[in-house]
Amino acid sequence: MIKALTTIISVVVILLLAEAGGAAEMMTYKNEEYGFSIDFPEDWTAIANYMGAVVVFMGPEKEGTVINVNIVVEELPKTMTVEEYAAVSERAQKNATISYRKDKSYSTTINGEPCVILTFTATYTKDAPEVKQKLAYFMRNTTAYIVSCTASPITYDEANENYFEPMIHSFEFIAGVTPTPIPSPSSTPEEGVPGFEAVFAIIGLLAVAYLLTHISHF
């Protein structure tokens, strides 16, 4: 508990320093254990192995929402295409919200890898603010990777241009590295259903971002 509070306080300090925002110089985060790399703004903070995510990138707070990008990895019980996994994940995402408005979904290729992009606006609880999210799905063998990007609907376009698009398009797998899956939580009510584990992790991270926003206003 003390370690978690220390982490939150440290992030708050960084967020207060970064609130001016804007396009920033990028640096590269490389994870050999899970076999990927991604660029992120040098004035953001990166927290590894946090709240079910492989890595969380926290940016400035704008319009009541901490702009953030995180990467969640899920080991699947069977082989799926990235399109199949994205469809299952979207259903889980919708079921986890109290309101959900889909913007668009499409297949593309990023750095030679098949990818599905999903954007939507959602509210997860009655006390939480509405957020707009972009999820980029990648697949490697039976391991799914989700790059989850979140901002306020008001600031989403700016965040997408300055942060989300450059970060997603920098994501790539490291050749010759076999990823180590995150263990599935035994208490998950939908245990064994692809997509739910990753969605639960994303929701938990949104809750932390919401908490950080309120702490930074004290």
Tell me the per-residue pLDDT of 41-75, one tens digit each, with 9 for 90 and over: 999 999 999 888 999 999 999 988 889 999 999 99
Which of these ranges, 44-53, 90-99, 150-159, 193-202, has the smallest mean pLDDT? 193-202
Q: Residue 47 maps to which CATH number?
A: 3.40.1000.10
Give residue 7's pLDDT band: very low, low, confident or very high (50, 70, 90). very low
Residue 104 vs residue 19, higher pLDDT? 104
What is the total count of domains within the chain?
1
The reported pLDDT for the residue numbered 36 is 97
The tens digit of pLDDT for each residue in 101-153 reads 999 999 999 999 999 999 999 998 888 889 999 999 999 999 999 999 999 99
Whether 6 has a pLDDT exceeding 50, the answer reads no
- φ and ψ at 64, to 5 degrees? 80, 5
Domain that holds residue 208: 2-216
Beta strands 131-140; 113-123: pairing state: antiparallel
The reported pLDDT for the residue numbered 70 is 94
C-beta of residue 9 within 8 angstroms of C-beta of residue 1: no
Whether 175 has a pLDDT exceeding 60, the answer reads yes
Question: What mean pLDDT, rounded, does the chain reach?
Answer: 80
Dihedral, 43, 10, 50, 164 alpha carbons, nearest 10: -20
The reported pLDDT for the residue numbered 202 is 58
C-beta of residue 40 within 8 angstroms of C-beta of residue 29: yes
The reported pLDDT for the residue numbered 142 is 92
Q: In the beta sheet, which residues pair with residue 110?
A: 113
Q: Can you tell me the distance from the alpha carbon of 141 to that of 179, in angstroms, rounded to the nearest whole number?
A: 10
Strand 36-41: give its sheet, edge to edge: 26-31, 36-41, 172-173
Whether 80 has a pLDDT exceeding 60, the answer reads yes
Q: What is the pTM of this model?
A: 0.79
